[in-house]
Structure 1
Amino acid sequence: MTAAIRGPWKIVPSSGGQTAPFYMIRFDKRGVCTSPASLAHLVTASAEATDVFLFSHGWNNDWAAATRRYEQFLEQFTQVREQEWDPPAREFRPVLVGVHWPSTVLVGGDDRGPDIAGEEPEAAEEAEVDLGLLGEHLDADQAARFYELADEAQLTGADALELASLLAPALAGADDELGSGPEHTPDAKELVRLWAAMPSEDPQAPTSRGGFVDETPETNGTDPQAAGWLDTLNPRNAIRSATVLLMKDRAGRVGGAGVRTMLHGILKASPDSRVHLIGHSYGAKVVLSALAAGSAPTRPVESVLLLQPATSAKCFADPDGTEPAGGYRPALDRCAQPIMTTFSRHDAPLTKLFHFAARRASDRREVVIAGAPSEFAALGGVGPQDTSSVTVVDARTAPQRYQHTTEQIIAIRADAVISGHGDVQNPATAWALLCQVME
């Protein structure tokens, strides 16, 4: 546990030999701020800033990695800014904010916390999934049985169904991304079918810390179209899928509660500053939930940059008479600039696994129909779907700027500059942010 901080976490270099305060604001799993003194200091400091940058990491990240990755992204941004915007064409007095939310699903020999990207640290080989994240939703007898089933190398059909029945109530969440309201408890048989269809992994290889899930999953030979009751099931697939959903819900809860309150406070206290939101993986869900949930803030944020977002590709969807608008569509009207979001075919977790795990309602369509993206596909894997408010462009590097558009979303096809889910702190992503700052 780090010592209590009542102001900036540290001071970092800024433009023209100046410095900028960098705050780390913590939230618990309910979205309650656990560093209120630092938050109060931040809100006051924001009133004097020209630009406030609010970052959120994704899941499975620890404190040491978080601070390191936030700093690495900022270093990339500073280098690009000094090359392409020095001196700045306007006043530039930034305040930096990193969100810290409890996203860790791996445990090792020490306590760990947030990360903006996805580097596997030295101790990753000692880490394992924290089954307590699932067990805490069960009573004592149920938890004991869950731990027994989770400890098996393989489960029979009957045991797999029992595991699904134990976990199903914990996986009933509100699908805020799709705007469809509260979900019903998933059907246990459907969960088993999904678990059987999920690509498998080497059981001896640990899940990479710092990313969404494993970066290079291998298929287990199961045809997802025909997957059903199998003779045996690896419980690791079930646990991976369940933790994906629990952390998805937690990201939305933290964003829609505590981070939303913080964002509204900053916008109200600093009427002239430009507020920029940046989120990676489930961190994109954190910042979108903060912006889109509930009533609108007193004024729009300036920009939103989503880096390989682990949210539904339909989160910005148009209403079509039969389906509601995407749950994050309100964010489009609460951002002064078009929202920028990256997607890459090299992001294995979001292109190969997300649509298996992030399915709460009954299976409404097959995983793939005639080559089309899954109904449950990830925004960071295939880009925005079912929306007329988008312009799709190839990723650009300095000095080629992104062109102004009347559409509310700029979807950046980032195959050439993002090689994997965690490859989000590089000159190209820093340039995308700088283009928003210079706009």
Structure 2
Amino acid sequence: MPSNAPSTRTETVPWQVRPTPAGPVPVYILQFDAAGRLTSPRSLEALVDAAADATDVVLVSHGWNNDWAAATSRYDRFFDRLEDVVRSQGPPPDRPYRPVYAGVHWPSTALVMPWERGPDIAGGGDGLAGELAPELAALEDDLGPERTAELRAVLADPDAGEAGCARAAEILAGLPRAEDADDDADGGAGGDAGAREEPAGSEELLALWADARRRLAPPAVKPGGIIEEDQAVAGPEAAGFLNPLELLRGGVRLATVRQMKDRAGRVGSAGVADAVRRLTAPADGRPGARLHLVGHSYGCRVVLSAVAHGAAPATDVDSVLLLQPALSAWAFAPDVGGHPGGYRVAFDRVRLPILSTFSAHDMPLTRVFHLAMRRASDLGEAEIAGRPPSRFAALGGFGPQGLGAEAATLAPMPDVGGAYPFGAGYAGAAHEIVGVDGTWCIPGHGEVESVQTAWALLSQVRAPETA
């Protein structure tokens, strides 16, 4: 079925009940379609009811390329680690602790099961069209069946050549931009909507694809023994020739990266934002539970768009934990080309400093993300190096940028029991966001369910009201 169709999964309320050190804790899964529409209303109603008697609600969103099984497995692992550190470090020492857990499930994956594919893409013998069938299935949500069929025909042609690349770029240039999706450093939610970039034209897309392909191509090799060691032998792509099939393959995959960026913002602003406002509203005149938001990868965009879009929550979100966020490192900066970063407004809507991990081992966010997000005018900025390569560099690859004293960096990421810059006994200055260098304990983009990340969340949960 198309991933933007309402879910037909049976709604289990709650999804599970976990035995924890704090007693039985229900877990609710909120499902959204590609347009951000809630497809599990009973789960949200039950979550809001449960939150009225809870002290803390932990709401987690997965990132890109997580189907139902992968997303719920991630949540299980993360909640396992959270309960491990509660056992070893204890719940909040100065108040009751009765948590409720929730997870967001949104159609983030370009991978579909064989029985979900139409007969026109079920076979694998039609060249790139077969190889990229999952990406085509995801893109069809926004391209529509007619233009997707045109793109599939181009990809199925082994002799597509330069003309095929140009036609594919023309088709993909028509991908709509999500109306409410943020644009990170370029405004969007909480920023200057008039400053958003215009969609790239087909010629710009081709230039971006070609530049990305050159930058991500394997490095030149040294033959050794025949010529001097410092005279590297470059491959044909480094010498200026680009294989059209490789250009097509990379272009389609980069298109899905941008597509899922927009979708994550749309799910957050159109759907999850309502859940956040309901969960932060006082219940029957009593203070509501503290709301703790956790996102991974594009899930960080989901939770931040929910906080930053539209009217402010009734009461502040208590904390936000961003695990390897796939968004611009300048998304919180006060000035990005004359306007504020797209998520800067979150500083006024979250009680504690936002925690955001980054890792040098995160290859997608240190080497690829900024190549997919930039414009043709940014080609000269996209250097792959240890420093932020451009204003589209990922927060999860390089940490927060452009903030001065509003940001702090913890290097390395504290181990379990280590101090975070809030709470009793912390003598440092107040910060709005804390970049946490997890290089030592985050070995890859998806490897974020650990006792260290769970301790980061528990540190936020344990922070006193005066933090």
Where on the TM-score scale, by shorter chain, does this alignment land: which range?
0.7 to 0.9
Q: Partner residue of 1:205?
A: none
> Runs of at least 4 residues of structure 1 off by over 6 A?
220-223, 225-229
Q: Partner residue of 2:338?
A: 323
Q: Is this contact kept in 1: 2:269–2:305, CA < 8 A?
A: yes
Q: Name the amino acid aligned to 2:253.
A: R
Out of 154, 178, 183, which is 2:197 matched to? Answer: 183
Q: How many angstroms apart in 2 are the aligned matches of 1:228 and 1:296?
A: 51
With 370-379 and 95-104 compared, the bigger mean Cα shift is at: 370-379
Q: How many angstroms apart in 1 are the aligned matches of 2:344 and 2:325?
A: 15
Alignment of 1:248 onto 2:266: no
Shift of 1:366: 2.2
Q: Partner residue of 1:379?
A: 395
Q: Is this contact kept in 2: 1:193–1:227, CA < 8 A?
A: no
Shift of 1:227: 9.8
Alignment of 1:5 onto 2:11: yes
Q: Name the amino acid aligned to 1:251.
A: A
Q: Name the amino acid aligned to 1:347.
A: D
Q: Name the amino acid aligned to 2:184.
A: E
Q: Is this contact kept in 1: 2:211–2:379, CA < 8 A?
A: no
Q: Partner residue of 2:355?
A: 340
Alignment of 1:109 onto 2:114: yes
SS in 2 for 1:78: helix
Q: Partner residue of 2:53?
A: 48
Q: How many angstroms apart in 2 are the aligned matches of 1:31 and 1:295?
A: 17
Alignment of 1:274-353 (within 5 A): 274-319=290-335, 322-353=337-368
Q: Partner residue of 1:219?
A: 218
SS in 1 for 2:445: coil
Unaligned regions of 5+ residues in structure 2, if any?
A: 1-6, 118-130, 221-233, 423-428
Out of 70, 77, 83, which is 2:82 matched to? Answer: 77
| 1:89-143 CA distance string (max 9 Å, x none) | 421100111001111101233569xxxxxxxxxxxxx995241322344465533
TM-score by length of 1: 0.85
Q: How many angstroms apart in 1 are the aligned matches of 2:241 and 2:199?
A: 20
Out of 363, 367, 370, which is 2:382 matched to? Answer: 367
Q: Partner residue of 2:249?
A: 236
Q: Is this contact kept in 2: 1:108–1:128, CA < 8 A?
A: no
SS in 1 for 2:314: coil
Q: Is this contact kept in 1: 2:34–2:267, CA < 8 A?
A: yes
Q: Name the amino acid aligned to 2:421.
A: Q
Distance 1:399 1:243, change over 3 A: same
**Aligned sequence identity (%):** 44
Distance 1:140 1:413, change over 3 A: closer
With 348-357 and 173-182 compared, the bigger mean Cα shift is at: 173-182
Shift of 1:197: 2.6
Alignment of 1:134-173 (within 5 A): 134-138=139-143, 141-152=146-157, 155-170=160-175, 172-173=177-178
Shift of 1:64: 1.4
Q: Is this contact kept in 2: 1:31–1:257, CA < 8 A?
A: yes
With 369-378 and 414-423 compared, the bigger mean Cα shift is at: 369-378
Q: How many angstroms apart in 2 are the aligned matches of 1:362 and 1:133?
A: 28
Q: How many angstroms apart in 2 are the aligned matches of 1:12 and 1:297?
A: 28
Q: Partner residue of 1:391?
A: 408
Shift of 1:145: 2.1
Q: How many angstroms apart in 1 are the aligned matches of 2:458 and 2:256?
A: 34
Distance 1:138 1:7, change over 3 A: closer
| 1:229-283 CA distance string (max 9 Å, x none) | 8463422201110000111000000000110001101111443311100000000
Q: How many angstroms apart in 2 are the aligned matches of 1:306 and 1:150?
A: 37
SS in 2 for 1:106: coil
Out of 48, 52, 62, which is 1:57 matched to? Answer: 62
Q: How many angstroms apart in 1 are the aligned matches of 2:204 and 2:243?
A: 16
Q: How many angstroms apart in 1 are the aligned matches of 2:395 and 2:239?
A: 25
Q: Is this contact kept in 2: 1:172–1:185, CA < 8 A?
A: yes
Q: How many angstroms apart in 2 are the aligned matches of 1:169 and 1:3?
A: 32
Q: Name the amino acid aligned to 2:414.
A: R
Q: Name the amino acid aligned to 2:203.
A: K
With 337-346 and 134-143 compared, the bigger mean Cα shift is at: 134-143
Q: How many angstroms apart in 1 are the aligned matches of 2:108 and 2:54?
A: 29
Q: Is this contact kept in 2: 1:199–1:219, CA < 8 A?
A: no
Query: How big is the alpha-carbon RMSD for the aligned residues of Structure 1 and Structure 2?
Result: 2.8
Q: Partner residue of 1:257?
A: 270
Q: How many angstroms apart in 1 are the aligned matches of 2:217 and 2:458?
A: 37
Q: How many angstroms apart in 2 are the aligned matches of 1:153 and 1:383?
A: 42
Shift of 1:319: 2.2
Distance 1:73 1:199, change over 3 A: farther
